[in-house]
Structure 1
Amino acid sequence: MTIYVWGYLQEYEQERNDILEAVDEVFRSGQLVWGPRVTGFESEFAAYHGVSHCVAVDNGTNALVVALRAMGIGPGDEVITVSNTAAPTVVAICAVGATPVFVDVDPDTYLMRVDQVAAAISERTRVLLPVHLYGQCVDMAPLEALAAQHGLQILEDCAQAHGARHHGRVAGSMGRAGAFSFYPTKVLGAYGHAGGTITSDAELSAEMRRLRYYGMDEERYYVVARNGMNSRLDEVHAEILRRKLRRLDEYIHARRTAAANYAEALSDTDIVLPATAPGNDHVYYVYVVRHPQRDKIIERMKSFDISLNISYPWPVHTMTGFAHLGVPKGSLPVTEAVADEIFSLPMYPSVLGTDQEKVIDALRETLATL
């Protein structure tokens, strides 16, 4: 049986009764959209992060879009972020009509080079958008200082960092808002698309709530206050997420255990293991390693029925869909260099045990034959 970089079937068997009970409860309730399960999840997710508000939406991309729009971002504005990220980060910026401005990444952690941000700020810059990538946080103190100095807003992309902490502060609680995806692969994943944005700014929260529901005030249905969109989380996924949220710390513990197993078993090889930045509590959404013969390794691992992944093989600025940004190849040298060598090992709570042992043994054998 093939071992994939992510899988949920073993986890589902362990949680099946609870998940099916959640689905049945919603179906029997008579309310499928925008009811007490959504508001319950919003309240509990906000509380987990120590913030006042959570606005649940239908996917992680729209979590960013709704937040950017609520922040007043649109055509003519610039948002500073990175190219070493999932494309939705940049899709969301472009969706509101703003222009993404890229800085490079650190060669060890692959996170935003915060020391390059000041030089990237222009009179059009409105938002700093750090991506808490692979399960750990960007160094936020310098960004907070820059935001205060230049009157900028910070929107954290937390799609890969549920429960991650930076000097004790949880991802998503450090900027004006933090956007999350609950796509099935995530540390906290639904059984389909889901997303949400957290904030302690009551005005921003109210605006995001309007925007996710066509621009209507929730107290005055059918009256559009401003042009919005339809981006609501349904009751089924909200109830599933509520129940899984109670197990989030267990998921993180299992991922950290798996990461420790990899580190111990592979420390004597020439593969470059993940580096954790100072002050970070890593949650290992993905376990990203690096090797100059990456492509050979991935191909040979297939013979062991192990399918690996690359996050991400093509930096966003090199994609034809973003050619209009005019960012030349070579302008982000570290981002481009690591894209040729990084790849991900299987990482999810239920990989612990026999499956992880198979991955480690196969990888060690593969490395020995290069």
Structure 2
Amino acid sequence: MMGHHRTSYSSNTIPLDPTIPISSVQHLLVDVDFFKRAKNPGGVNKPQLFKKHRKSRQLKSLQSSQVWKNGKRDAQVLQMEEWFPSIAQPLSAPASHPNARGKAKSASNISMQSLSLRQHAPVSYKNDCPESDIGKYFYKLPGELRNRIYRLAVLQETKTVEVTTKPETCSQGACVHTKTSFNVPGIANTCRQMRWEVMPIFVAENPTWAFDAGVVHNCCVGNTIRSLGDYADLIPQFELAINRPLWNRDSFTEYATYRFTLFPPKHPIANGQWALVQNEEEGRVICDCAPRKLLMAMDSQREPVGKAVITFVESEEWADFVWRVRKTKQQHNHLLRCKKCGEVVFNN
């Protein structure tokens, strides 16, 4: 007959010290019910954390299959793809079908590429060359030979890249110089890898980038340089042209062209600072004190070449200088002289 069982403690099992009061060990002398679990039909309640989750039918079938018990890892992956079609399948995985278990590929015919799930794209750095399909045979050529072909294609005979525009092209609509494809050779628009290889040669090995009067008057220089991105920092020198109409009373005679060459600090002529030089074959040198004030600010800021030139050509001082030169119609010998530099000045 089952009942309560009281555990007896004797002096042989628990040695007691007469100096210790019995009240201090009273909590040890408790009734222990060894049949409490047997009396409760439901057993001891388990915490929610340790309760087993209900398995799905697919998971039960998968775990009871021979592939899951004795198969290899590759076969188990294919088996999971059949039972769980909601998971993104690899490139060459078989289509999910209830009867596709018998037609599964063997482990020996499975490649690691077909088993790989979606992976994150590798991190690309600024100086990493992008890989593109630039041709079956051209890609196999050595880099030195490809550079030689690039030089034959993009280097100008005059060693000058002439940025020109037709009259009223950008003044009556959107500027066409904002597009990179318009400002670079067609070979640079083939693919990303070819642009990455040919652009440094096209930008840096052409000594001069000349912007004609139409581009300067329509304020397209900044858009052209901005479209080149970081490649604009490789331009050796910038040549800006301004046309001034000459009139004899009421009749137009000709245009007087003034060319200003802007040298970055890295150029040998600049000696570590921005330099502005006038190149005029007919000796029509004018006062350029106003643009030179901008060079002092450019030397102090030390910005990248492309960003500094954009700041220069889009400044209010340069726009006012170009406007005054274009507006003046008098002959060269009828104009006043600058008190600082002694050259002809336009103060109209």
Query: Structure 1 length as normaliser, TM-score?
Result: 0.22
Per chain length, whose mean CA-contact separation is higher, i.e. which structure has more relative contact order (CA < 8 Å, sep 6+)?
Answer: 1
Query: Structure 2 length as normaliser, TM-score?
Result: 0.23
CA radius of gyration, larger in: 2
